[in-house]
Structure 1
Amino acid sequence: MVQHGKYRALVAAAALALGAGPAAGACRLALAMGFDISRSVDATDYAIQRDGILAALAAPEVVRALLGSDDHVLLALYEWSGQGSQSIVVAWTAVRSQADIDRIAASIAAHTRGEDKLPTALGEALDFGADLLNRAGDCAARTLDISGDGRNNIGEEPEKVRKRRGLEGILVNGLAIGGHESGIAIYYRQRLISGRGAFVEVARVHADFPRAFRRKLERELTEQLLGTIETGENAG
């Protein structure tokens, strides 16, 4: 794993590589992020999660990674819990300026949480995220990131969704939150993530979510994206 102190160099390298191509102004990355709001996520956990996302979007390193190239990033966020319970928080938004980041943050801050007493349909969260990415349009890379604190306990298992969907051209990362179920990071590694270079970021407990989310987002926008550029292919 790249140390946090190297992220700035990676941001600069990614921006240089992405801005140098003939297709300046194209979409370099479609990044969809799904967040767990099932019954194991109480009001305090939810607030930590929301505030952690907002803090990451305000972090200078993340802002530079988002805006450091003429080629833009597309962002979308959704919440998920039980079967048929996924809700778009931020629809696909092209991030080309600080104003775009501010609009995304305002949508997150204003969002009202959905049903909070439902089980954990992780497989459906994966299926929904894949459909969402398939509606993003043309982008050089496509990444789905799903965070959660528990194993799938209703509906199709995530590994079965992976097999059924194929997920061609989609890199699936995870953010595993400990404290509710043991071995959740191992479960995410074995059952959820897919694609070359896919990884699981770990938050020991919900209180650790802001740090883990920021580190995960920086990695997706710099190290992981630069790897895609260097190999000249999507990680799928």
Structure 2
Amino acid sequence: MTCFRVLLVLCLCWLPLRSIACDTALVLTIDVSNSVDVAEYRLQVDGLADALRDPEIVDALVQGEVALSVVQWSGVDRQQLSIPWTRVRTSLDAEYVAQQARLMERAFVLSDTAPAEAIRFSLRLFDQVPDCVRKVIDVSGDGTPNAGAAVRDARNAAERAGVTINGIAIESMGLAITNFYRGAVITRNGFVITARTHRDYPRAIRTKILREISKVFG
């Protein structure tokens, strides 16, 4: 009887730990609005795929059993979940998402830029991963809104829901996009990284993902 009680206590202690195994749920959003040409789109998806094959990133993803999804966005009614939630429990899981990213077909062309709708679309996805401790949305883009609702309102809704928004601002010159992201897109606990043109995006996405998931481990 004593042994049975010990086993029961051990099982009860173990179950809650398994229920919060996912440290972070991360939605990676990619801007495919009219300002992004074919070559720039390819730089984004290849940069994402390469980042998800980086050994340091893969190790951190696996340690945290991070859940990943990828969204393409542009205008008001132009958001698509291109890669559904995938739990990265092994390096093979990370490789699967990397392959899916590299093969991902562009969802929209000749469309406006509506980041508020992209944020609200991404927020709804977290209903599918309620066990993840941290919830993060990445917003990458190369322009300010020319359609859609107020971005600050969407950002505030994310803060109320306990969701962090980080960003990659893709600049052609100056810091206009970066300053917009700082003022209207990222949450108070978020950050923005500047990419100097789309060619700098692969470096920026690697830096950003590593910073996001490494925070879990101190």
TM-score range, shorter chain: 0.7 to 0.9
Once residues 124 and 17 of structure 2 are traced to their aligned partners in structure 1, the CA distance between those partners, rounded to angstroms, is 26
Give the counterpart of 2:17 among 9, 23, 37.
Answer: 23
Residue in structure 1 matched with residue 43 of structure 2 by the alignment: 48
Q: Paired residues, what number? A: 202
* CA distance 1:75–1:175, change in 2 (3 Å): same
1:125 is displaced (CA, Å) by 0.8
1:164 is displaced (CA, Å) by 4.7
Give the counterpart of 1:58 among 53, 59, 71.
Answer: 53
Once residues 208 and 109 of structure 1 are traced to their aligned partners in structure 2, the CA distance between those partners, rounded to angstroms, is 17
Give yes or no for contact 1:149–1:181 (8 Å, CA) kept in 2: no
SS at match of 2:137: strand
Residue in structure 1 matched with residue 172 of structure 2 by the alignment: 179
* CA distance 1:164–1:199, change in 2 (3 Å): closer
Q: How does 1:83-98 map to 2 (within 5 A)?
A: 83-98=76-91
Once residues 117 and 160 of structure 1 are traced to their aligned partners in structure 2, the CA distance between those partners, rounded to angstroms, is 26
Residue in structure 1 matched with residue 208 of structure 2 by the alignment: 216
Superposition CA RMSD, Å: 1.8
Alignment-mate amino acid for residue 201 of structure 2: F
1:134 is displaced (CA, Å) by 3.0
Give yes or no for contact 1:77–1:90 (8 Å, CA) kept in 2: yes
| TM-score w.r.t. length of structure 2 | 0.87
Q: Which moved more, 1:97-106 or 1:84-93?
A: 97-106
Alignment-mate amino acid for residue 17 of structure 2: A
1:74 is displaced (CA, Å) by 0.5
Give unmatched runs, 5+ long, in structure 1. 1-21, 228-236
Q: From the two aligned structures, give the one with the greater helix fraction.
A: 2
* CA distance 1:94–1:204, change in 2 (3 Å): same
Give unmatched runs, 5+ long, in structure 2. 1-15
Residue in structure 2 matched with residue 169 of structure 1 by the alignment: 162
Once residues 96 and 164 of structure 1 are traced to their aligned partners in structure 2, the CA distance between those partners, rounded to angstroms, is 30
Residue in structure 1 matched with residue 33 of structure 2 by the alignment: 38
Tell me, yes or no, if structure 1 residue 129 matches structure 2 residue 122: yes
* CA distance 1:163–1:98, change in 2 (3 Å): closer
* CA distance 1:120–1:181, change in 2 (3 Å): farther
- Cα deviation digits, residues 14-62 of structure 1 (max 9, x gap): xxxxxxxx71571111111111000000001001111100110111111
Q: State, as a whole percentage, how many aligned pairs show the same letter.
A: 36
Q: Which runs of 4+ in 1 moved over 4 A?
A: none
* CA distance 1:99–1:148, change in 2 (3 Å): same
SS at match of 2:125: helix
| TM-score w.r.t. length of structure 1 | 0.80
Give yes or no for contact 2:159–2:187 (8 Å, CA) kept in 1: no
Alignment-mate amino acid for residue 209 of structure 1: Y
Give yes or no for contact 2:194–2:204 (8 Å, CA) kept in 1: yes
